[in-house]
Structure 1
Amino acid sequence: MHDDPFHAFLPYPPAPVAHAPDGPLSGLSLAVKDIYHVAGYRTGAGCPTWLAESPLHQVTAPCVQMLLDAGARFVGKTHTDELAWSMYGMNAHFGTPVNPAAPDRIPGGSSSGSAVAVAGGLADIAIGSDTGGSVRAPASFCGTWGWRPTHGIIPMAGAMALAPSLDACGIFARDGAVLARTAAVMVADSAPMTAPDLLMPADMLALLQPEARAVWQAGFGDLPARQVAVYPEGVDAAYATFLTAVMADAKETILPFIRRSRMPLVRGIDARADMAEALTPDQITQGRAAREAFARHMDGLLGAQGVLLAPVVHDAPFRLNAPVAVFDSFRHDSQRLLCVAGMARLPQVVFPAGTVDGAPFGLSLIGPRGSDLSLIALARQMARQLQVAA
C-alpha cells in the first residue's frame, strides 16, 4: 500500500499475493491484520521481538485464503496492538493509526489498522481478530461495519493465538452489503433465524453513558422487544469470569513467549502478563466452569430465535491526550459489555448508528450460535431504517 495517509499498513516490502480472477468478492480490496500469515510476508503481531523471530511464511492462513479464492485483492498487512493484547490501537513500537472519522480519538484495537483501512477507504474488507472486542470496539469507534462470528466457525490456523477459547477471525467492511458478501464466502447459516425474537438487555443498557443511551434509544427504542437480564450473577461477576478465561488461555499461549524472549513489556501488557502468571490451577478450573455456565445461560436466554439489541461499548472513543485515569478505566468499562458475546461464543454484528461527543458510535445485534448470516441480514434491515449504508 503506497498511499496510506492514516498509517493503517505496515511498510513491509511488497510480495505478490495471488487471488482468483473471478468470484463473489471480485473487485474488492482486502487488508489483513498482522497476526495472520500471508505467503511471502513476515508476521509481526505488533511486537518487534515476534517480528525478529518470524520467517517469511510460505502458506497463507486459511481464513485469508478463503477471501483470496473468492476474488478479493490483497493490499497489505495492517497494524495491531502488541501481541493483540490491548484495545486502544496505540502501539509503542510502531505508532497509532489515525481514526479517519475522529482523528483526535483512539482508533481502537487490537485490530486498529484493519478498522482504519476500511474507515479511510483504503480497503473494502479487512480481516481482524476479536478476543475481547478487538473487531467490535474499533468498528464502533471508526464508524464501520464489523462482525465477530460464532466462535470456531472460521479457522484460526495460521494466526498468532492469544486466548484460543475466545479468539475469533472478525471482519470489517465498508457497508452491510460488502459484509454480507464476505460472510457468505466464509460461513454457512447453520442455525438460520426465521422469526427473530427481539430482546432488550436492560442490565447492559444500564452501563451506557447518557449520550450513548440516546443513540441506542433512537436506533432500537421503538422496536417491539421484551426486556431481559444478561448477567445472571451481576456484571462484575461476569467480567471477572471473562478476565480469568482470557488470562488462563494467555498463560498457555503468549506468556511462555514473553518470558522466554525476555521482551521489554510496555505498560498494560506487563500487568496482564503478571496477572496471567499468578493464576492458580484452581482459579483456572473455577473460571472456566463459570464461563461455561454463562454460555449455557446465554444459550437459554436466546434460544433459537433470540436477538439482543445490544450496545457495543459504553461510550465514544476517548481522545488521544486523555488523562491516564481514562486509559486505565476505559478498557474495563467497555469490556463489561464486550465480554457477553465472546464468553458465550455468540456472533455479534456492529453497524454505525450515530455519534457521541462528536465521534462515531455503533449499535449491534447478538444472536444464537450459527445464525451469522441471518444476523447480518437483520442488521442490514435495521440499518436501512437508520439510513445507514446497508
Structure 2
Amino acid sequence: MLLEKDPYHAFMPYEPIPVASASDGPLSGLTLGVKDLFDVAGYRTGCGCPTRLATSPVMTRTAPAVQRLLDAGAQFVGKTHTDELAWALYGMNAHFGTPVNPAAPDRIPGGSSSGSAAAVAGGLVDIAVGSDTGGSIRAPASFCGIWGIRPTHDRIPLDGAQALAPSFDTCGLFARDGNTLLRGMEVLAGPDTAPLPNAPELLWPTEMHAQLGEAQSALCSAAFDGLTAREVSVYPDGVEAAYATYLTTNGADCAEAIVPYIRASGMPLVRGIDGRAAAAEALTPEEIATARSARAAFRVHVESVVGEGVLLAPAVHDAPFRLDAPVEVFDGFRHDAMRLLCVAGMSGLPQVVFPAGKVNGAPYGVSLIGPRGSDLSLISLAIQLTAKDMP
C-alpha cells in the first residue's frame, strides 16, 4: 500500500509500487482502493488466498475496470483485503485477518469486499472497487455505514478479475457519499442505457420488508418517510423457493468457475468454503437445470414488477453482528441476509445501498433496486431521497 498507516487493516501489506494515473480527469483528486481480486500492473493478485498469492505472477496489465478509473485521474493507494476467493459475506479472512469496521469496531465489516468498505468508511480512500456476487458490496456498505452499488449485471467488464459465479459476478464501487459514488460510476459504467423517468413509480416489496425486525423496519420506514409507494410481490413462489433457487444456481456457477481451482491446487479449506464447495459439487444436472429455469422465471417476474419503477428495499435484514458472536449467529446470519440480497442478484438488476441509521449502535442501510441499465439515475434518485428533495 502507498499509505503510511492503515489503522483499519484494510490493505494487503504488499510492497508499495506506484501505479500511473492520468494527471487530469473527472476523478482527479480522488484516491482509490482496489479489491485484491482485480489485477493491477506491478502487483500480484492474491484473492485472499495464500495458495493463489504464492503462485500469482506479478501482473503486467491492469483490469480494464480499474484502468478506467486510473485513466480518469483516480490515484491508486493500494489493494484491499477480501474474503478468501471472495466466497463469504462476513469479511473475516482466516489467513490475512479481518479489517476493522470503522463505524463499529466490535462488529464484522462484511465481505467479501471488506477491505474496500473499511478503507472508504475509515477515510483512507475516497472510492474503492469491490465485487458483488451474492452481496459482497451491498452487505459491507450497509454494515460500515457507507454508499455502495451492485451494478446491472454485465454492465462493467470483469476481465482481469477472479471469477466466482459468473452469472452473478459484478464489479461495483464504494464511497462515503452519493455524489462521489455517482462521480465514480459515471466513469466506471458509462451513460445509462435505460435511465429512470423523471418521476419513477415507487414500489414497496412487502415480502422483503416482512423479513425485518421491529427496529430495522422502523429505520426503513423512516428512510422512506413521506413517499407514496405501491405494494408489490417480488418472490413469485415465495421467499424460500427463491432462496433455494439462488443457492442452486449460484452453487452451479461456482462448481464450474472456482471449485476446479480449489481441488486442483490442493489448497487447505477453511470452515465455510469447505461446505460450500462440497455442496456445489453435489448438485445434479437435473437440479441445476430445474433451478436455472426457475431463475429465468424469477428474473422475468421481477423485471415485470419493477418495470420503469424503483423498489424501496432493505439491503440486509440486520446490522452487523459482533465479532465474538456465538457460532449459531455465524451459521445463520448469512442465510437471512441472502434471502434479501438474492432479489437483485438473481434478476441482474442494479441496487444502490445507502445509510439509514443504526440498530443497536451499528450501521444499517437501505436500498433502491431499479431497472436494468438505470444505475446512474438510480444513484441520483437515492441522492435526492436522502436530501429530502423528493415530493
Q: Which category describes the TM-score, using the shorter chain as reference length? A: over 0.9
Give the C-alpha shift of residue 143 in structure 1: 0.5
Query: Aligned partners of 2:158, 2:223: CA distance in 1, in Å?
Result: 33
Question: How do 1:82-93 and structure 2 match up within 5 A?
Answer: 82-93=84-95
Given the alignment, which residue of 343, 347, 360 partners 2:363? 360
The letter for the 2-side match of 1:272 is: R
2:169 matched residue in structure 1: 167
Query: Aligned partners of 1:32, 1:193: CA distance in 2, in Å?
Result: 29
Query: Aligned partners of 2:275, 2:342: CA distance in 1, in Å?
Result: 20
Query: Aligned partners of 1:88, 1:172: CA distance in 2, in Å?
Result: 17
- Superposition RMSD in Å: 1.0
TM-score (ref. length: structure 2): 0.98
Query: Aligned partners of 1:233, 1:75: CA distance in 2, in Å?
Result: 46
Deviation digits for residues 366-387 of structure 1 (CA, Å, limit 9, x no counterpart): 000001111010000011129x
2:301 matched residue in structure 1: 297
Given the alignment, which residue of 200, 203, 212 partners 1:208? 212
Give the C-alpha shift of residue 69 in structure 1: 0.4
Q: Confirm whether residue 181 of structure 1 aligns to residue 183 of structure 2.
A: yes
The letter for the 2-side match of 1:385 is: K
Q: Confirm whether residue 146 of structure 1 aligns to residue 144 of structure 2.
A: no
The 4+ residue runs of structure 1 with deviation greater than 3 A are none
Question: How do 1:49-88 and structure 2 match up within 5 A?
Answer: 49-88=51-90
Query: Aligned partners of 2:290, 2:69: CA distance in 1, in Å?
Result: 39
Query: Aligned partners of 1:35, 1:183: CA distance in 2, in Å?
Result: 19
Give the C-alpha shift of residue 72 in structure 1: 0.1
Gaps of 5+ in 2: none
1:267 matched residue in structure 2: 271
Deviation digits for residues 247-291 of structure 1 (CA, Å, limit 9, x no counterpart): 101101110011111111000000000001001111111111111
Deviation digits for residues 297-327 of structure 1 (CA, Å, limit 9, x no counterpart): 0111111x21000000001100000000000
Give the C-alpha shift of residue 2 in structure 1: 2.3
1:110 matched residue in structure 2: 112
Given the alignment, which residue of 312, 316, 325 partners 2:315? 312
Deviation digits for residues 139-165 of structure 1 (CA, Å, limit 9, x no counterpart): 000001001100000000000000000
Q: Confirm whether residue 252 of structure 1 aligns to residue 265 of structure 2.
A: no
Query: Aligned partners of 1:186, 1:93: CA distance in 2, in Å?
Result: 31
Deviation digits for residues 77-124 of structure 1 (CA, Å, limit 9, x no counterpart): 000000100000000000000000000000000000000000000000
Give the C-alpha shift of residue 39 in structure 1: 0.1
1:350 matched residue in structure 2: 353
Query: Aligned partners of 1:46, 1:184: CA distance in 2, in Å?
Result: 29
Q: Confirm whether residue 284 of structure 1 aligns to residue 283 of structure 2.
A: no
1:40 matched residue in structure 2: 42
2:378 matched residue in structure 1: 375
Other structure's SS at 1:3 match: coil
Query: Aligned partners of 1:82, 1:209: CA distance in 2, in Å?
Result: 31
The letter for the 1-side match of 2:5 is: D
Amino-acid identity (%): 68
Query: Aligned partners of 1:36, 1:2: CA distance in 2, in Å?
Result: 23
Give the C-alpha shift of residue 222 in structure 1: 2.6
Deviation digits for residues 173-199 of structure 1 (CA, Å, limit 9, x no counterpart): 121110111111122111011131100
Deviation digits for residues 173-232 of structure 1 (CA, Å, limit 9, x no counterpart): 121110111111122111011131100011000001111001001111431100001111
Other structure's SS at 2:140 match: helix
Query: Aligned partners of 2:23, 2:260: CA distance in 1, in Å?
Result: 42
2:223 matched residue in structure 1: 219
Other structure's SS at 1:166 match: coil
The letter for the 2-side match of 1:355 is: K
In the alignment of these two chains, the number of paired residues is 386
Gaps of 5+ in 1: none
Query: Aligned partners of 1:221, 1:47: CA distance in 2, in Å?
Result: 44
Other structure's SS at 1:172 match: strand
Give the C-alpha shift of residue 242 in structure 1: 0.7
Query: Aligned partners of 2:309, 2:152: CA distance in 1, in Å?
Result: 15
Query: Aligned partners of 1:132, 1:110: CA distance in 2, in Å?
Result: 9
Deviation digits for residues 113-136 of structure 1 (CA, Å, limit 9, x no counterpart): 000000000000000000000000
The letter for the 2-side match of 1:340 is: V
Other structure's SS at 1:385 match: coil
The letter for the 1-side match of 2:24 is: D
Question: How do 1:113-124 and structure 2 match up within 5 A?
Answer: 113-124=115-126
1:337 matched residue in structure 2: 340
Query: Aligned partners of 2:355, 2:88: CA distance in 1, in Å?
Result: 22
Query: Aligned partners of 1:280, 1:33: CA distance in 2, in Å?
Result: 33
1:243 matched residue in structure 2: 247
Other structure's SS at 1:368 match: coil
Query: Aligned partners of 2:353, 2:269: CA distance in 1, in Å?
Result: 32
TM-score (ref. length: structure 1): 0.98
Query: Aligned partners of 2:51, 2:287: CA distance in 1, in Å?
Result: 30
Query: Aligned partners of 1:22, 1:244: CA distance in 2, in Å?
Result: 46
Q: Confirm whether residue 190 of structure 1 aligns to residue 190 of structure 2.
A: no
